[in-house]
Amino acid sequence: MTRRLRSSAVALGVGALVGFVVAGAGSRLAMRLIAVADDREDFGLPTEGGDMVGQVTLQGTLFVLFTGFAQGIVGAFLYLAMRRWLPERPLVRALCFAVIILGFGLTATINGNAADFEFVNTVVSILSFAAVLLAYGMLVPILIDRLSPVTVFGSRWGRGVVAALLLVSLVSGALAVRHAFEIADSAVVMADLAKPSPGQQFDLRAWARLNPQIA
């Protein structure tokens, strides 16, 4: 087996395993943690994906696991394509890749489920999925490099690509996080405006007494 085929086989296996366990099962665990952190006032409301808040279904779980499995493989091959240009030290290499995954992963997660931040705990949601993304981003490089070592190239063009990806991922992730908090803050403001003041409640009761035939 040539080195390229061996690296591809390793990436496929590592991506599938880490994707299924960390990205898939980890995301499902994060969803349960978010549901536990919720005040339960929103249980039963539809989410952005069409599910119900607080409801766990076999179909939903299988979908999350399969999505993690597929995305895990894609991420592993992404690392395989760029690892020659990452820093030589293993821990720094893994950290650089994890930051890229974190930034773009949070962007995709938040933008894809923007409406859900109107009722979920924003801090718990972001921290939960950030932990899953970081765990995946750290494990994939460590396992692939252990099973299929690579020689690091000092290509300026390649290092420039990695630096650009890091910058874009950081900016994109930061903007997505800010957007999530803006959605949450707007939902709180709208909920406060929708609550009638004590004076309004008194006026409505008085109106009902004066107009019993309509009330």
Question: Considering Cα of 196, then 200, then 206, then 210, what sign does the dihedral take?
Answer: negative
Lowest mean pLDDT among 18-32, 57-71, 95-109, 152-166: 152-166
Mean of pLDDT values over 126-142 = 96
Residue 103 has pLDDT above 90, yes or no: yes
Residue 215 has pLDDT above 70, yes or no: no
Give residue 207's pLDDT band: very low, low, confident or very high (50, 70, 90).
Answer: very low
Q: Full-prediction pTM beyond 0.85? A: no
Residue 79 makes CB contacts below 8 A (sequence gap 6+) with 11, 97, 140, 141, 144
Q: What is the mean pLDDT of the chain?
A: 83
Say what the pLDDT of residue 54 is.
59
CA dihedral 170, 176, 180, 185 (to 10 degrees): 90
Say what the pLDDT of residue 19 is.
95
Mean of pLDDT values over 181-192 = 77
Bin 54: left if φ > 0, else alpha if -120 < ψ < 50, else beta. left
Q: How many CA atoms lie less than 13 Å away from 192 in the CB half-sphere? A: 6
CA distance 1 to 121: 50
Residue 10 has pLDDT above 70, yes or no: yes
Residue 204 has pLDDT above 50, yes or no: no
Tokens 């405006």 sit on residue: 193
Lowest mean pLDDT among 20-24, 38-42, 165-169: 38-42
Mean of pLDDT values over 82-93 = 89
Closest CA relative to residue 36, chosen from 166, 144, 125 = 125
Say what the pLDDT of residue 57 is.
76
Residue 202 has pLDDT above 90, yes or no: no
Backbone torsions φ then ψ of 212, nearest 5 degrees: -65, -30
Residue 133 has pLDDT above 80, yes or no: yes
Residue 116 has pLDDT above 90, yes or no: no
Mean of pLDDT values over 200-213 = 49
Question: Is 28 within 8 Å of 64 (Cβ atoms)?
Answer: yes
Longest dimension (CA), the chain: 89
Helix (H, G, I), strand (E, B) or coil at 55: coil
Question: Is 131 within 8 Å of 27 (Cβ atoms)?
Answer: no
